[in-house]
Structure 1
């Protein structure tokens, strides 16, 4: 990071992550204000949240072409201009439709920005710095989320505070826009490569300013499914990481954090938003730790341990929230609650105003019971957020920037990112409706089971890429194959053998 020619690209990428995180997190606190101001139904609230994701899905369909054909710098610049436009629309919105249009524009830009920044930095740094610099993007995301939650809290009592929440993104975007203008121009699809210090001898003689020009026009998305160079396995790994990270429910923890905290007993809007700020702090701390450990501990250990902690935390949240108001009341139903004839449609705040709410079992939740369960749920939520920020958060993007060959990297990123945003859209758009059917507890229990399955997937399919050059990773993956049935059997037989157990016991005792 001490090299001058690495500082500016890394700063541009980190600022991109900051904008990305702010746009992701700001809707958490703004949503309840928007609901009250525009009288939004549950479906309309989900639409406002998910419009950003729909824009991202659309961008992922053209993003690969744009990045590979027009260059990384041009793509980042375009995303900045779109975020500026979308933020202005959101700040001056006077209808539900304008909210959706503004969120669509921001989502489209965020997708282009996330892909461009990660690829740009991964190609500009040597292998021994790649883990740190690429995860700096995720560090920017977590700081952006924390900043968004803090802005939510500060403006929670302001009249039409949501306008200022959305408008503050303009300041962050302008900072990145200025830094992008300073970057050197790209000619066509020219991509700068700084050779890895640990790469082969025939590349060691190249200087830091050497450049490689690749012909990307002959490659299409179909090449991601060919047997040649084992591209099919790489694509499955990328898709698996993207889908698992979304279906563990992380988007809902970000987008609906304040709503979730209110539903389990946090008595007012400000306290629920303040609890969300706590989640933001945990994300920053955990991501900082992952950033420092990515090139030391390795990608696989961080992912597997993160998924394991997430599984335990999510299942515990499901158990502890089984008597929450979301489980006791169909808040999206048009039928009024029996204890209130003036219930605002789909508004969790009104649910929290009802005292001595009775659950399906007929038990009244006392303040004492709510107090200790709230604390445990908050701890579990922080554990889940922290585990995600150590594992899936930074490692997914780092691995995706490493496992695909350079000439297909833009299209591969766009293709897998398309599924990422589609999964995010499904999870986010259906959240309020799903908990209306199976309850908050059932929803989080399912998330926990998926997190456990993700740990198994990573253990058997993902190779370790720590400390390896992009060329060496590519060569290793060319020769890699899916584990066959006999491979799984041999692994379990080996671990059940007395010799393996004695060796494991002796190693744990050292």
Structure 2
């Protein structure tokens, strides 16, 4: 019996760290996208590819993840996903061109999706029925804490020359800690509390190979027996509507959204994202405590209604305020992009400092820094608008009215993510999607 407390503690740590890594990788692009756009001169389409490449990797993992987990086991699948995540983080940290960024993001997406599937299954098998709900909820909490941690780190590193490289690299820390914890845990449930609970149910024969593991096919999900067809439709519908709410896009583009509605300057937009992450953590913890008392259906209905109201408020604010795309959609030509520099054709190899943005009035000018024997020379002149010029006017019209609209957008966004945590949070986590 002496082995149970360490197993329970390690399982809790593995679950929390797995969720933290998942949430961090989901949200880190929010703060990294603004400096990446300036360093690489990314167009709108390229930014969308960069953000979506994470989901492409996750889609691949969702298709082959079940086979890998069954073939190699839960623990090996998690350890393997951490290795892929470390490789992806290294590629992102050293990337000097868009293709390397896409490769790194796709690798990270594959890793966190596979780890998400394997982690909850593995932890559920190692502990008894009474602890399973708590440990799976820890994964939920870990996701929201990871989102908050990524936003906070984005704010701290916003002014660093290569801050976005550090943002991507820090994801390796929780993955390494989780791997160390996994090495101390058994490879399967044999001899653990969950396995011992099966012995009285199976008459002392729980150790027989294949016992308690009935085989099902994919078509069994659509049979009328035990209302499986209805359950499948409800489950798939919830997952579909969870993604159609648009909440993942809020996580990916939080800083960009805040910048467009008036939080000018990269640090201001990222700081607003930190507040968004803090509210999300608080809402998730509250929902975790209320889910068994209020009921999942009640929280789902109330959360959806509140989301509809808040997203309508965001739409009204966006209609009233003069949206400024700022640096999010610079259309730079091939002749003026950083990828033309010799140092930026691949992984980072002694690359020169990034172009410096000099602003004057409402115009912004990218200038290559001086090197030995050379003088600074402009690359191109682009109208960047007030989003990158803290001294410029925030927008036409009364300043007070504009400020109120900015804060109204922030409040609506906070209500939106809180309602999502109540409606689609604890007890309804999609293994392939964010919370």
| Corresponding residue of 1:175 | 177
Deviations 1:126-156 (A, max 9, x none): 4444332211101001111111001100000
Structure 2 residue matching 1:365: 3-state secondary structure: coil
- Aligned-pair CA distance for 1:90: 0.2
- Aligned-pair CA distance for 1:215: 8.2
- Residues 181 and 310 of structure 1, relative CA distance in 2, 3 Å threshold: same
Deviations 1:400-438 (A, max 9, x none): 7xxxxxxxxxxxx7xxx4xx59xx9xxxxxxxxxxxxxx
CA contact (8 A) 2:25 2:171 kept: yes
Select 2:201's aligned residue among 193, 200, 203: 203
Counterpart mapping for 1:358-373 below 5 A: 364-373=396-405
- Residues 24 and 344 of structure 1, relative CA distance in 2, 3 Å threshold: farther
Q: Is 1:259 equivalent to 2:256 in the alignment?
A: yes
- Aligned-pair CA distance for 1:327: 8.1
| Corresponding residue of 2:387 | 349
Deviations 1:459-502 (A, max 9, x none): xxxxxxxxxxxxxxxxxxxxxxxxxxxxxxxxxxxxxxxxxxxx
Deviations 1:41-88 (A, max 9, x none): 001001111100000001000111222333221211111111101000
Q: Is 1:374 equivalent to 2:376 in the alignment?
A: no
CA contact (8 A) 2:36 2:164 kept: yes
| Corresponding residue of 1:387 | 419
Q: Report the Cα distance in structure 2 between the residues aligned to 1:356 and 1:85, rounded to whole angstroms.
A: 42
Q: Is 1:144 equivalent to 2:146 in the alignment?
A: yes
| Corresponding residue of 1:246 | 243
| Corresponding residue of 1:278 | 275
CA contact (8 A) 1:51 1:100 kept: yes
Q: Report the Cα distance in structure 2 between the residues aligned to 1:72 and 1:310, rounded to whole angstroms.
A: 36
- Aligned-pair CA distance for 1:345: 8.8
Q: Is 1:57 equivalent to 2:54 in the alignment?
A: no
TM-score normalized with structure 2 length: 0.79
Q: Report the Cα distance in structure 2 between the residues aligned to 1:226 and 1:93, rounded to whole angstroms.
A: 49
Q: What runs of 5+ residues in structure 1 fail to find an aligned partner? A: 358-363, 401-412, 425-510
- Aligned-pair CA distance for 1:356: 6.8
RMSD: 3.5
Report the more deviating stretch, 7-16 or 215-224: 215-224
- Residues 392 and 157 of structure 1, relative CA distance in 2, 3 Å threshold: same
TM-score normalized with structure 1 length: 0.68
Structure 1 residue matching 2:294: 3-state secondary structure: coil
| Corresponding residue of 2:90 | 88
Q: What runs of 5+ residues in structure 2 fail to find an aligned partner? A: 333-360, 365-380
Structure 1 residue matching 2:262: 3-state secondary structure: coil
Structure 2 residue matching 1:37: 3-state secondary structure: helix
Q: Report the Cα distance in structure 1 between the residues aligned to 2:422 and 2:208, rounded to whole angstroms.
A: 34
Q: Report the Cα distance in structure 1 between the residues aligned to 2:402 and 2:413, rounded to whole angstroms.
A: 16
Q: Report the Cα distance in structure 2 between the residues aligned to 1:154 and 1:356, rounded to whole angstroms.
A: 24
- Aligned-pair CA distance for 1:217: 9.4
| Corresponding residue of 1:42 | 44
| Corresponding residue of 1:221 | 218
Structure 2 residue matching 1:234: 3-state secondary structure: helix
Q: Report the Cα distance in structure 2 between the residues aligned to 1:395 and 1:351, rounded to whole angstroms.
A: 44
| Corresponding residue of 2:194 | 194
Q: Report the Cα distance in structure 1 between the residues aligned to 2:329 and 2:298, rounded to whole angstroms.
A: 41
Structure 2 residue matching 1:394: 3-state secondary structure: coil
Q: Report the Cα distance in structure 1 between the residues aligned to 2:43 and 2:149, rounded to whole angstroms.
A: 28
Q: How many residues align?
A: 388
Q: Report the Cα distance in structure 1 between the residues aligned to 2:37 and 2:278, rounded to whole angstroms.
A: 26
Runs of 4+ in 1 over 6 A off after TM superposition: 190-193, 204-207, 209-212, 327-331, 339-343, 345-348, 351-354
Structure 2 residue matching 1:185: 3-state secondary structure: coil
- Aligned-pair CA distance for 1:391: 2.6
Select 1:74's aligned residue among 76, 87, 102: 76
CA contact (8 A) 1:263 1:324 kept: no
CA contact (8 A) 2:129 2:194 kept: no
Deviations 1:266-310 (A, max 9, x none): 121111100000011111111112222333333222222222221
Select 1:104's aligned residue among 103, 106, 109: 106
CA contact (8 A) 1:69 1:216 kept: no
Q: Report the Cα distance in structure 2 between the residues aligned to 1:76 and 1:290, rounded to whole angstroms.
A: 28
Q: Report the Cα distance in structure 1 between the residues aligned to 2:60 and 2:388, rounded to whole angstroms.
A: 36
CA contact (8 A) 1:195 1:206 kept: no
Q: Report the Cα distance in structure 2 between the residues aligned to 1:68 and 1:192, rounded to whole angstroms.
A: 19
